C-alpha cells in the first residue's frame, strides 16, 4: 500500500508542477565539503535525457555513458533508472523509437519533447553546470577506472542477455578478458 501511495504522489507531483520540476527544481546540487552534492533532483533526469537526445539520438546505454563522462564519473545512472525514464518520455510523446541498434532500442526527441525541453532550458543548464563542476572536482583517475569496469560489466550482461552464446563466441569473450587482464597487469 505504501508503494502505491508513493507512486501516486510522484505522478501527482509531475502533473501539479508542469513537467515535474516541483518546488526544488535544479538548484540544490552544490559542493559540500569538497564533494559534489546531489546532482539531480526529482524529475531532472527526464529533461537531461531530452537534452542529450536533442544533441544526438541514441539508446539508453549511450545516455548512461554520456552522463558519466560529463560528470567525470561522479554520476552514473543505472539502467533501472534510464530505461523506465525513456519509457515514460515515450508515453508522454516526448521521444520516439527510431529502431534498434545492436539489440538496443534507439530514441530521438519529438517536437513535443523539444517544446518541453525549451520550457525547462534554465533547469537543464543548471544540471549540466553541476555535472561539469563534479567533473572538475574529479582529479583522480579512479572514477574513470570505475566507469570502464562498469562498461565492461554492462557489455557482458547485455551480450549474455541477447541470447545463446556459442562455444566460439565464449572463447572469444574469455580471450578478450584474459588479454585485458594481462595488459592491466603490465601497465
- pLDDT tier at 19 (50, 70, 90 boundaries)? very low
Its domain, for residue 158, covers 140-187
- Do 28 and 104 fall within a single domain? yes
Residue position matching grid coordinates 592491466: 184
Q: Is the pLDDT of residue 176 over 80?
A: yes
- Do 81 and 127 fall within a single domain? yes
Domain count, the chain: 2
Q: Is the pTM of this model over 0.75?
A: no
Count the neighbouring beta carbons within 10 Å of the beta carbon of residue 22.
Answer: 15
Quote the cell numbers at residue 72: 567525470
- pLDDT tier at 39 (50, 70, 90 boundaries)? low
| SS3 category, 135 | helix
- Do 74 and 156 fall within a single domain? no
Instruction: Give the pLDDT score at 9.
Output: 40
- Do 46 and 114 fall within a single domain? yes
Predicted confidence (pLDDT) per residue in 1-18, tens digit? 444 444 434 443 443 334
Q: Which residues contact residue 123 at a Cβ distance below 8 angstroms, ignoring those fewer than 6 apart?
A: 21, 25, 26, 44, 47
The answer to whether position 78 is within a domain reads yes
Mean per-residue pLDDT, 119-148: 78
- Do 53 and 124 fall within a single domain? yes
Amino acid at each position: 500500500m505504501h508503494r502505491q501511495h508513493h507512486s501516486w504522489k510522484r505522478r501527482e507531483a509531475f502533473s501539479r508542477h508542469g513537467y515535474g520540476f516541483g518546488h526544488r527544481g535544479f538548484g540544490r546540487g552544490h559542493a559540500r565539503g569538497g564533494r559534489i552534492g546531489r546532482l539531480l533532483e526529482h524529475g531532472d533526469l527526464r529533461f537531461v535525457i531530452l537534452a542529450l537526445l536533442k544533441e544526438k539520438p541514441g539508446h539508453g546505454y549511450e545516455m548512461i555513458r554520456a552522463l558519466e563522462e560529463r560528470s567525470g564519473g561522479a554520476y552514473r545512472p543505472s539502467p533501472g533508472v534510464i530505461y523506465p525514464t525513456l519509457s515514460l518520455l515515450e508515453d508522454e510523446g516526448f521521444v520516439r523509437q527510431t529502431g534498434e541498434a545492436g539489440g538496443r532500442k534507439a530514441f530521438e526527441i519529438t517536437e513535443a519533447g523539444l517544446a518541453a525541453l525549451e520550457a525547462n532550458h534554465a533547469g537543464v543548464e543548471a544540471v549540466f553546470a553541476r555535472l561539469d563542476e563534479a567533473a572538475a572536482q574529479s582529479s583522480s583517475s579512479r572514477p574513470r577506472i570505475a566507469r570502464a569496469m562498469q562498461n565492461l560489466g554492462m557489455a557482458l550482461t547485455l551480450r549474455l542477455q541477447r541470447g545463446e552464446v556459442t562455444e566460439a563466441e565464449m572463447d572469444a569473450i574469455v580471450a578478450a578478458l584474459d588479454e585485458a587482464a594481462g595488459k592491466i597487469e603490465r601497465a
